[in-house]
Amino acid sequence: ENYLHPRLGALLATGTDTTEDVELSTREREVVRLIAAGYTNPEIAEQLEVAERTVKTYRARAIEKLGFSSRAEITAYVRRIGLVD
């Protein structure tokens, strides 16, 4: 069976985006874009030339601001707002 997070299900059902007013920093946007592209934290750290802990911090801040709890939600968000290359 497939699982759909309740928040994502509500978004799909209502078409209401509760993340529209969220302001991510440039680095947070870059990190969530790379997460959605399938990169791991160590790969993102190498690509951005920062420590893996720094990547985790940016990811945590973005997740908190957006109210997400998973990489799947990040991926759906990135695709929805058009950050995917």
pLDDT band with cut points at 50, 70 and 90 for residue 16: low
Reduce the secondary structure of 8-62 to three states and give it as a string: HHHHHHHCCCCCCCCCCCHHHHHHHHHHHCCCCHHHHHHHHCCCHHHHHHHHHHH
Look at 78 and 57; give whichever has higher pLDDT.
57
pLDDT of residue 85: 63
The answer to whether the predicted template modeling score (pTM) of the entire model surpasses 0.75 is no
Q: What is the mean pLDDT of residues 48-68?
A: 93
Q: What is the mean pLDDT of the chain?
A: 83
Query: At residue 9, does pLDDT exceed 80?
Result: no
